[in-house]
Structure 1
Protein backbone atom coordinates (compact mmCIF):
# COMPACT_ATOMS: atom_id res chain seq x y z
CA UNK A 1 0.00 0.00 0.00
CA UNK A 2 1.31 3.45 -0.91
CA UNK A 3 2.33 5.61 2.06
CA UNK A 4 -0.20 8.33 1.21
CA UNK A 5 -3.02 5.76 1.10
CA UNK A 6 -1.83 4.29 4.38
CA UNK A 7 -1.82 7.70 6.08
CA UNK A 8 -5.30 8.46 4.75
CA UNK A 9 -6.59 5.14 6.09
CA UNK A 10 -5.00 5.84 9.48
CA UNK A 11 -6.58 9.30 9.63
CA UNK A 12 -9.95 7.86 8.65
CA UNK A 13 -9.66 5.18 11.35
CA UNK A 14 -8.91 7.83 13.97
CA UNK A 15 -12.03 9.73 12.84
CA UNK A 16 -14.23 6.66 12.89
CA UNK A 17 -13.34 4.77 16.08
CA UNK A 18 -14.24 6.05 19.55
CA UNK A 19 -11.16 7.45 21.29
CA UNK A 20 -8.76 6.58 22.66
CA UNK A 21 -7.80 4.00 20.03
CA UNK A 22 -4.99 1.66 21.00
CA UNK A 23 -1.91 1.33 18.81
CA UNK A 24 -2.69 -2.38 18.37
CA UNK A 25 -6.18 -1.58 17.02
CA UNK A 26 -4.83 1.11 14.68
CA UNK A 27 -2.13 -1.24 13.41
CA UNK A 28 -4.70 -3.97 12.76
CA UNK A 29 -7.06 -1.56 10.95
CA UNK A 30 -4.30 -0.21 8.70
CA UNK A 31 -2.42 -3.47 8.19
CA UNK A 32 0.99 -2.33 9.45
CA UNK A 33 3.35 -3.22 12.25
CA UNK A 34 3.74 -1.19 15.46
CA UNK A 35 6.92 0.63 14.39
CA UNK A 36 5.39 1.67 11.08
CA UNK A 37 2.28 2.85 12.93
CA UNK A 38 4.29 5.07 15.27
CA UNK A 39 6.11 6.59 12.28
CA UNK A 40 2.77 7.21 10.56
CA UNK A 41 1.36 8.90 13.69
CA UNK A 42 4.43 11.14 13.73
CA UNK A 43 3.95 11.92 10.02
CA UNK A 44 0.32 12.92 10.56
CA UNK A 45 1.31 15.14 13.48
CA UNK A 46 4.01 16.75 11.35
CA UNK A 47 1.36 17.40 8.69
CA UNK A 48 -0.81 19.36 11.11
CA UNK A 49 -3.08 16.74 12.67
CA UNK A 50 -3.47 17.26 16.41
CA UNK A 51 -3.37 13.71 17.78
CA UNK A 52 -3.46 13.28 21.53
CA UNK A 53 -2.12 10.21 23.28
CA UNK A 54 0.89 7.93 23.26
CA UNK A 55 1.92 4.30 23.07
CA UNK A 56 0.39 2.30 25.89
CA UNK A 57 -2.49 4.74 26.31
CA UNK A 58 -4.17 5.12 22.95
CA UNK A 59 -4.72 7.93 20.46
CA UNK A 60 -7.44 10.49 19.82
CA UNK A 61 -7.77 12.85 16.86
CA UNK A 62 -8.33 16.25 18.46
CA UNK A 63 -8.00 18.42 15.36
CA UNK A 64 -8.25 17.22 11.77
CA UNK A 65 -6.33 19.38 9.26
CA UNK A 66 -8.17 17.92 6.25
CA UNK A 67 -11.65 18.91 7.42
CA UNK A 68 -12.71 22.55 7.72
CA UNK A 69 -14.34 23.66 10.98
CA UNK A 70 -18.13 23.59 10.96
CA UNK A 71 -20.79 24.77 13.30
CA UNK A 72 -24.31 23.46 13.86
CA UNK A 73 -27.06 24.35 16.28
CA UNK A 74 -27.85 21.78 18.98
CA UNK A 75 -31.05 20.80 17.14
CA UNK A 76 -29.12 20.37 13.88
CA UNK A 77 -26.66 18.08 15.63
CA UNK A 78 -29.53 16.04 17.08
CA UNK A 79 -31.09 15.81 13.60
CA UNK A 80 -27.81 14.62 12.05
CA UNK A 81 -27.26 11.98 14.73
CA UNK A 82 -30.86 10.75 14.47
CA UNK A 83 -30.91 10.72 10.67
CA UNK A 84 -27.63 8.84 10.31
CA UNK A 85 -28.73 6.35 12.99
CA UNK A 86 -31.83 5.66 10.89
CA UNK A 87 -29.62 5.00 7.85
CA UNK A 88 -27.57 2.54 9.89
CA UNK A 89 -30.73 0.56 10.68
CA UNK A 90 -32.64 0.94 7.41
CA UNK A 91 -29.86 0.87 4.81
CA UNK A 92 -27.85 -2.00 3.41
CA UNK A 93 -24.41 -2.77 4.84
CA UNK A 94 -22.57 -0.30 2.60
CA UNK A 95 -24.94 2.55 3.46
CA UNK A 96 -24.84 1.67 7.16
CA UNK A 97 -21.04 1.79 7.14
CA UNK A 98 -21.12 5.07 5.21
CA UNK A 99 -23.47 6.58 7.81
CA UNK A 100 -21.09 5.62 10.59
CA UNK A 101 -18.02 7.11 8.89
CA UNK A 102 -19.97 10.22 7.84
CA UNK A 103 -20.97 10.91 11.44
CA UNK A 104 -17.38 10.43 12.56
CA UNK A 105 -16.11 12.87 9.93
CA UNK A 106 -18.77 15.46 10.74
CA UNK A 107 -18.10 15.15 14.47
CA UNK A 108 -14.37 15.60 13.88
CA UNK A 109 -14.99 19.03 12.32
CA UNK A 110 -17.00 20.36 15.26
CA UNK A 111 -15.74 22.46 18.15
CA UNK A 112 -15.15 20.46 21.33
CA UNK A 113 -18.44 21.47 22.96
CA UNK A 114 -20.45 20.39 19.91
CA UNK A 115 -18.45 17.18 19.61
CA UNK A 116 -19.68 16.28 23.10
CA UNK A 117 -23.24 17.08 22.02
CA UNK A 118 -22.89 14.76 19.01
CA UNK A 119 -21.37 11.93 21.06
CA UNK A 120 -24.03 12.22 23.77
CA UNK A 121 -27.07 13.24 21.74
CA UNK A 122 -30.39 13.38 23.56
CA UNK A 123 -32.37 11.88 20.65
CA UNK A 124 -31.62 8.24 19.87
CA UNK A 125 -32.93 5.69 17.38
CA UNK A 126 -33.02 1.91 17.83
CA UNK A 127 -34.57 -0.89 15.83
CA UNK A 128 -34.87 -4.27 17.51
CA UNK A 129 -35.54 -5.94 14.16
CA UNK A 130 -33.61 -4.95 11.07
CA UNK A 131 -35.43 -4.81 7.76
CA UNK A 132 -34.38 -7.81 5.64
CA UNK A 133 -31.77 -6.82 3.08
CA UNK A 134 -32.73 -7.24 -0.58
CA UNK A 135 -31.02 -10.15 -2.30
CA UNK A 136 -29.81 -7.89 -5.11
CA UNK A 137 -26.74 -5.63 -5.04
CA UNK A 138 -27.89 -2.25 -3.74
CA UNK A 139 -24.56 -0.70 -4.65
CA UNK A 140 -25.13 -1.72 -8.27
CA UNK A 141 -28.58 -0.08 -8.23
CA UNK A 142 -27.23 3.19 -6.82
CA UNK A 143 -24.39 3.23 -9.35
CA UNK A 144 -26.79 2.56 -12.23
CA UNK A 145 -28.99 5.45 -11.07
CA UNK A 146 -26.09 7.87 -10.88
CA UNK A 147 -24.55 6.73 -14.16
CA UNK A 148 -27.97 6.55 -15.85
CA UNK A 149 -27.44 3.02 -17.11
CA UNK A 150 -30.18 0.47 -17.78
CA UNK A 151 -30.51 -2.71 -15.73
CA UNK A 152 -31.89 -6.12 -16.66
CA UNK A 153 -33.85 -7.63 -13.78
CA UNK A 154 -35.54 -10.89 -12.93
CA UNK A 155 -38.67 -10.06 -10.96
CA UNK A 156 -41.76 -11.60 -9.38
CA UNK A 157 -44.70 -9.33 -10.17
CA UNK A 158 -47.77 -8.57 -8.05
CA UNK A 159 -49.55 -11.65 -9.43
CA UNK A 160 -46.64 -13.92 -8.50
CA UNK A 161 -45.42 -14.42 -12.08
CA UNK A 162 -41.73 -14.56 -12.96
CA UNK A 163 -40.83 -11.83 -15.42
CA UNK A 164 -37.74 -10.26 -16.92
CA UNK A 165 -37.50 -6.54 -17.56
CA UNK A 166 -35.11 -3.92 -18.80
CA UNK A 167 -35.52 -0.84 -16.66
CA UNK A 168 -34.09 2.65 -16.31
CA UNK A 169 -33.51 3.02 -12.55
CA UNK A 170 -34.36 6.47 -11.19
CA UNK A 171 -34.46 6.40 -7.39
CA UNK A 172 -34.64 4.09 -4.37
CA UNK A 173 -37.38 4.91 -1.84
CA UNK A 174 -37.44 3.61 1.75
CA UNK A 175 -40.96 2.88 2.98
CA UNK A 176 -42.05 1.53 6.37
CA UNK A 177 -41.75 -2.14 5.47
CA UNK A 178 -40.17 -2.33 2.01
CA UNK A 179 -37.81 -0.55 -0.31
CA UNK A 180 -39.04 0.51 -3.74
CA UNK A 181 -37.12 1.21 -6.91
CA UNK A 182 -38.72 3.92 -9.02
CA UNK A 183 -37.97 3.18 -12.66
CA UNK A 184 -39.01 3.47 -16.27
CA UNK A 185 -40.01 0.00 -17.49
CA UNK A 186 -38.89 -0.58 -21.08
CA UNK A 187 -41.30 -3.54 -21.36
CA UNK A 188 -44.40 -1.57 -20.34
CA UNK A 189 -43.18 1.78 -21.70
CA UNK A 190 -44.31 3.43 -18.50
CA UNK A 191 -43.24 4.31 -14.98
CA UNK A 192 -43.25 1.49 -12.45
CA UNK A 193 -42.47 0.94 -8.77
CA UNK A 194 -40.55 -2.30 -8.19
CA UNK A 195 -40.34 -3.86 -4.74
CA UNK A 196 -36.72 -4.76 -4.10
CA UNK A 197 -37.69 -7.82 -2.07
CA UNK A 198 -39.26 -9.30 -5.22
CA UNK A 199 -36.12 -8.94 -7.33
CA UNK A 200 -34.34 -12.23 -7.87
CA UNK A 201 -31.45 -11.22 -10.09
CA UNK A 202 -29.99 -8.15 -11.72
CA UNK A 203 -27.37 -7.37 -14.35
CA UNK A 204 -25.91 -4.11 -15.56
CA UNK A 205 -26.04 -3.26 -19.27
CA UNK A 206 -24.24 -0.95 -21.67
CA UNK A 207 -27.44 0.95 -22.47
CA UNK A 208 -27.37 4.56 -21.28
CA UNK A 209 -30.37 6.81 -20.79
CA UNK A 210 -28.29 9.89 -19.96
CA UNK A 211 -29.22 12.71 -19.53
CA UNK A 212 -32.87 11.84 -18.86
CA UNK A 213 -32.85 10.66 -15.23
CA UNK A 214 -33.59 14.01 -13.55
CA UNK A 215 -36.38 14.91 -15.97
CA UNK A 216 -37.91 11.43 -15.76
CA UNK A 217 -37.78 11.42 -11.98
CA UNK A 218 -39.47 14.80 -11.84
CA UNK A 219 -42.22 13.54 -14.16
CA UNK A 220 -42.55 10.33 -12.11
CA UNK A 221 -43.01 12.29 -8.88
CA UNK A 222 -45.66 14.46 -10.51
CA UNK A 223 -47.57 11.35 -11.55
CA UNK A 224 -47.36 9.79 -8.07
CA UNK A 225 -50.14 12.17 -7.04
CA UNK A 226 -52.34 10.18 -9.43
CA UNK A 227 -51.55 6.48 -9.74
CA UNK A 228 -48.36 4.70 -10.69
CA UNK A 229 -48.60 0.95 -10.75
CA UNK A 230 -46.48 -1.27 -8.51
CA UNK A 231 -45.51 -4.36 -10.46
Structure 2
Protein backbone atom coordinates (compact mmCIF):
# COMPACT_ATOMS: atom_id res chain seq x y z
CA UNK A 1 0.00 0.00 0.00
CA UNK A 2 1.30 3.45 -0.91
CA UNK A 3 2.15 5.65 2.07
CA UNK A 4 -0.37 8.33 1.05
CA UNK A 5 -3.10 5.69 0.84
CA UNK A 6 -2.07 4.29 4.24
CA UNK A 7 -2.28 7.73 5.89
CA UNK A 8 -5.71 8.19 4.40
CA UNK A 9 -6.78 4.76 5.66
CA UNK A 10 -5.64 5.60 9.20
CA UNK A 11 -7.87 8.67 9.17
CA UNK A 12 -10.79 6.63 7.82
CA UNK A 13 -10.36 3.90 10.43
CA UNK A 14 -10.16 6.41 13.30
CA UNK A 15 -13.16 8.28 11.92
CA UNK A 16 -15.29 5.14 12.05
CA UNK A 17 -14.05 3.90 15.44
CA UNK A 18 -16.33 4.13 18.46
CA UNK A 19 -13.44 3.95 20.97
CA UNK A 20 -9.70 4.67 21.02
CA UNK A 21 -7.66 2.33 18.83
CA UNK A 22 -4.17 1.18 19.74
CA UNK A 23 -1.29 1.18 17.29
CA UNK A 24 -1.39 -2.62 17.30
CA UNK A 25 -5.08 -2.64 16.31
CA UNK A 26 -4.32 -0.19 13.51
CA UNK A 27 -1.34 -2.24 12.35
CA UNK A 28 -3.48 -5.38 12.12
CA UNK A 29 -6.13 -3.53 10.13
CA UNK A 30 -3.54 -2.07 7.75
CA UNK A 31 -1.37 -5.22 7.64
CA UNK A 32 1.75 -3.26 8.52
CA UNK A 33 4.09 -2.97 11.50
CA UNK A 34 3.35 -1.18 14.77
CA UNK A 35 6.46 0.93 14.23
CA UNK A 36 5.10 2.10 10.87
CA UNK A 37 1.82 3.08 12.53
CA UNK A 38 3.66 5.10 15.17
CA UNK A 39 5.55 6.92 12.44
CA UNK A 40 2.41 7.52 10.38
CA UNK A 41 0.49 8.85 13.39
CA UNK A 42 3.37 11.23 14.16
CA UNK A 43 3.37 12.43 10.54
CA UNK A 44 -0.39 13.03 10.59
CA UNK A 45 -0.13 14.97 13.83
CA UNK A 46 2.69 17.04 12.30
CA UNK A 47 0.32 17.85 9.43
CA UNK A 48 -2.18 19.14 12.05
CA UNK A 49 -4.62 16.28 11.69
CA UNK A 50 -6.40 16.41 15.11
CA UNK A 51 -5.45 12.97 16.45
CA UNK A 52 -5.08 12.64 20.20
CA UNK A 53 -3.85 9.78 22.39
CA UNK A 54 -0.63 7.99 23.08
CA UNK A 55 1.11 4.66 22.62
CA UNK A 56 -0.40 1.83 24.64
CA UNK A 57 -3.68 3.64 25.27
CA UNK A 58 -5.10 4.38 21.88
CA UNK A 59 -5.76 7.12 19.38
CA UNK A 60 -8.93 9.08 18.57
CA UNK A 61 -9.75 11.54 15.80
CA UNK A 62 -11.59 14.79 16.51
CA UNK A 63 -15.13 14.30 15.16
CA UNK A 64 -15.15 17.82 13.74
CA UNK A 65 -12.25 17.06 11.40
CA UNK A 66 -13.12 17.18 7.73
CA UNK A 67 -10.79 16.08 4.96
CA UNK A 68 -10.63 17.56 1.46
CA UNK A 69 -13.16 15.87 -0.85
CA UNK A 70 -12.41 12.96 -3.18
CA UNK A 71 -9.40 11.59 -1.33
CA UNK A 72 -10.35 8.12 -2.54
CA UNK A 73 -8.42 4.91 -2.58
CA UNK A 74 -8.40 2.95 -5.86
CA UNK A 75 -10.89 0.40 -4.47
CA UNK A 76 -13.22 3.15 -3.23
CA UNK A 77 -12.99 4.89 -6.60
CA UNK A 78 -13.88 1.73 -8.51
CA UNK A 79 -16.76 1.03 -6.13
CA UNK A 80 -18.19 4.53 -6.57
CA UNK A 81 -17.92 4.44 -10.36
CA UNK A 82 -19.30 0.90 -10.62
CA UNK A 83 -22.32 1.89 -8.53
CA UNK A 84 -22.88 5.04 -10.57
CA UNK A 85 -22.69 3.05 -13.82
CA UNK A 86 -25.32 0.61 -12.51
CA UNK A 87 -27.65 3.52 -11.66
CA UNK A 88 -27.00 5.17 -15.03
CA UNK A 89 -28.05 1.99 -16.84
CA UNK A 90 -31.10 1.05 -14.77
CA UNK A 91 -32.66 4.08 -13.11
CA UNK A 92 -35.15 6.68 -14.29
CA UNK A 93 -33.83 9.32 -16.74
CA UNK A 94 -33.24 12.03 -14.12
CA UNK A 95 -31.28 9.79 -11.74
CA UNK A 96 -29.41 8.17 -14.65
CA UNK A 97 -28.31 11.60 -15.85
CA UNK A 98 -27.19 12.49 -12.32
CA UNK A 99 -25.14 9.26 -12.16
CA UNK A 100 -23.38 10.08 -15.45
CA UNK A 101 -22.69 13.62 -14.23
CA UNK A 102 -21.24 12.16 -11.01
CA UNK A 103 -18.81 9.97 -12.97
CA UNK A 104 -17.75 13.00 -15.03
CA UNK A 105 -17.17 15.08 -11.89
CA UNK A 106 -15.13 12.32 -10.23
CA UNK A 107 -13.06 11.90 -13.39
CA UNK A 108 -12.32 15.64 -13.54
CA UNK A 109 -11.49 15.91 -9.83
CA UNK A 110 -9.20 12.94 -9.16
CA UNK A 111 -5.45 13.05 -9.84
CA UNK A 112 -4.25 11.83 -13.22
CA UNK A 113 -2.74 8.67 -11.68
CA UNK A 114 -6.21 7.54 -10.51
CA UNK A 115 -8.09 8.07 -13.78
CA UNK A 116 -7.28 4.60 -15.19
CA UNK A 117 -9.40 3.17 -12.35
CA UNK A 118 -12.34 4.95 -14.00
CA UNK A 119 -11.52 4.45 -17.69
CA UNK A 120 -10.10 0.92 -17.29
CA UNK A 121 -11.96 -0.62 -14.30
CA UNK A 122 -11.43 -4.21 -13.19
CA UNK A 123 -15.20 -4.81 -12.94
CA UNK A 124 -18.28 -4.08 -15.03
CA UNK A 125 -22.04 -4.19 -14.62
CA UNK A 126 -23.98 -6.60 -16.87
CA UNK A 127 -26.14 -4.95 -19.54
CA UNK A 128 -29.65 -4.21 -18.24
CA UNK A 129 -32.64 -6.20 -19.43
CA UNK A 130 -35.59 -4.34 -20.88
CA UNK A 131 -37.97 -3.08 -18.20
CA UNK A 132 -41.66 -2.13 -18.43
CA UNK A 133 -42.42 1.58 -18.42
CA UNK A 134 -43.65 3.23 -15.20
CA UNK A 135 -46.41 5.84 -15.04
CA UNK A 136 -45.01 7.47 -11.90
CA UNK A 137 -43.02 10.67 -12.11
CA UNK A 138 -39.85 9.38 -10.45
CA UNK A 139 -38.47 12.85 -9.71
CA UNK A 140 -41.58 13.87 -7.83
CA UNK A 141 -41.82 10.47 -6.16
CA UNK A 142 -38.31 10.84 -4.71
CA UNK A 143 -39.21 14.32 -3.47
CA UNK A 144 -42.39 12.94 -1.84
CA UNK A 145 -40.30 10.30 -0.06
CA UNK A 146 -37.82 12.92 1.18
CA UNK A 147 -40.50 15.24 2.60
CA UNK A 148 -42.79 12.46 3.89
CA UNK A 149 -45.96 12.91 1.82
CA UNK A 150 -48.70 10.42 0.98
CA UNK A 151 -49.46 9.04 -2.45
CA UNK A 152 -52.70 7.62 -3.83
CA UNK A 153 -52.31 4.94 -6.47
CA UNK A 154 -54.30 2.63 -8.66
CA UNK A 155 -52.66 -0.79 -8.45
CA UNK A 156 -53.09 -3.98 -10.48
CA UNK A 157 -52.13 -7.21 -8.69
CA UNK A 158 -50.87 -10.48 -10.23
CA UNK A 159 -54.43 -11.59 -11.02
CA UNK A 160 -55.17 -8.31 -12.79
CA UNK A 161 -57.47 -6.99 -10.04
CA UNK A 162 -57.29 -3.21 -9.63
CA UNK A 163 -57.61 -1.37 -6.33
CA UNK A 164 -57.02 2.17 -5.12
CA UNK A 165 -54.77 2.67 -2.12
CA UNK A 166 -53.30 5.50 -0.12
CA UNK A 167 -49.69 4.71 0.69
CA UNK A 168 -46.77 6.26 2.56
CA UNK A 169 -43.79 5.71 0.24
CA UNK A 170 -40.56 4.76 2.01
CA UNK A 171 -38.03 3.63 -0.58
CA UNK A 172 -37.59 2.84 -4.27
CA UNK A 173 -35.88 -0.47 -4.96
CA UNK A 174 -34.10 -0.92 -8.29
CA UNK A 175 -33.75 -4.34 -9.91
CA UNK A 176 -32.71 -5.44 -13.38
CA UNK A 177 -36.23 -5.72 -14.82
CA UNK A 178 -38.56 -3.88 -12.42
CA UNK A 179 -38.61 -1.16 -9.80
CA UNK A 180 -40.32 -1.70 -6.46
CA UNK A 181 -41.88 0.90 -4.19
CA UNK A 182 -41.76 0.03 -0.50
CA UNK A 183 -44.58 1.76 1.37
CA UNK A 184 -47.00 1.59 4.28
CA UNK A 185 -50.42 0.73 2.86
CA UNK A 186 -53.39 2.31 4.64
CA UNK A 187 -55.76 -0.25 3.07
CA UNK A 188 -53.87 -3.30 4.38
CA UNK A 189 -52.43 -1.55 7.47
CA UNK A 190 -49.00 -3.03 6.84
CA UNK A 191 -45.92 -2.56 4.72
CA UNK A 192 -46.22 -3.64 1.11
CA UNK A 193 -43.89 -3.67 -1.89
CA UNK A 194 -45.54 -2.47 -5.11
CA UNK A 195 -44.16 -3.20 -8.55
CA UNK A 196 -44.05 0.20 -10.15
CA UNK A 197 -44.97 -1.13 -13.59
CA UNK A 198 -48.28 -2.32 -12.07
CA UNK A 199 -49.20 1.14 -10.79
CA UNK A 200 -51.80 2.30 -13.31
CA UNK A 201 -52.37 5.79 -11.90
CA UNK A 202 -50.90 8.03 -9.22
CA UNK A 203 -52.00 11.17 -7.39
CA UNK A 204 -49.50 13.16 -5.34
CA UNK A 205 -51.99 14.29 -2.73
CA UNK A 206 -49.47 16.09 -0.51
CA UNK A 207 -50.84 14.98 2.84
CA UNK A 208 -48.01 14.35 5.33
CA UNK A 209 -47.43 11.02 7.05
CA UNK A 210 -48.68 10.63 10.61
CA UNK A 211 -45.08 9.66 11.52
CA UNK A 212 -41.70 11.23 10.94
CA UNK A 213 -40.06 9.68 7.90
CA UNK A 214 -37.10 8.38 9.92
CA UNK A 215 -39.52 6.57 12.23
CA UNK A 216 -41.33 5.04 9.26
CA UNK A 217 -38.01 3.97 7.74
CA UNK A 218 -36.92 2.36 11.03
CA UNK A 219 -40.20 0.42 11.22
CA UNK A 220 -39.83 -0.76 7.61
CA UNK A 221 -36.30 -2.01 8.33
CA UNK A 222 -37.60 -3.86 11.37
CA UNK A 223 -40.39 -5.34 9.23
CA UNK A 224 -37.84 -6.56 6.68
CA UNK A 225 -35.74 -8.14 9.41
CA UNK A 226 -38.70 -9.92 11.02
CA UNK A 227 -40.49 -11.09 7.86
CA UNK A 228 -37.60 -11.75 5.46
CA UNK A 229 -34.55 -12.04 7.69
CA UNK A 230 -32.93 -9.06 5.94
CA UNK A 231 -30.90 -6.79 8.20
CA UNK A 232 -30.74 -3.32 6.61
CA UNK A 233 -29.09 -1.54 9.53
CA UNK A 234 -25.79 0.18 8.75
TM-score tier after normalising by the smaller chain length? 0.5 to 0.7
The 8 Å contact of residues 85 and 99 in structure 2, kept in 1 or not, is answered as yes
How much has 1:99 moved relative to structure 2? 0.4
2:160 aligns to what? 160
Structure 1 residues without counterparts, runs of 5 or longer = 1-67
> Aligned pair 1:180/2:180, yes or no?
yes
Partners of 1:128 and 1:119 lie apart in 2 by 20
Q: Which has the higher strand share?
A: 1
The 8 Å contact of residues 82 and 125 in structure 1, kept in 2 or not, is answered as yes
How much has 1:69 moved relative to structure 2? 5.2
Secondary structure at 1:206 match in 2? coil
- Shift of the 103–182 alpha-carbon distance from structure 1 to 2, 3 Å rule, reads same
1:82 aligns to what? 82
Normalising by the residue count of structure 1, what TM-score does the alignment of the two structures yield? 0.63
Partners of 1:210 and 1:118 lie apart in 2 by 44
The 8 Å contact of residues 74 and 114 in structure 2, kept in 1 or not, is answered as yes
- Pairwise CA RMSD: 2.0
The 8 Å contact of residues 179 and 197 in structure 2, kept in 1 or not, is answered as yes
1:214 aligns to what? 214
1:197 aligns to what? 197
Residues 70-122 of structure 1, C-alpha deviation per residue, up to 9 Å, x if partnerless?
22111111111211111111211111111000111122221111123322223
Partners of 1:73 and 1:84 lie apart in 2 by 17
2:41 aligns to what? none
1:127 aligns to what? 127
- Shift of the 97–197 alpha-carbon distance from structure 1 to 2, 3 Å rule, reads same
Number of aligned residue pairs: 161
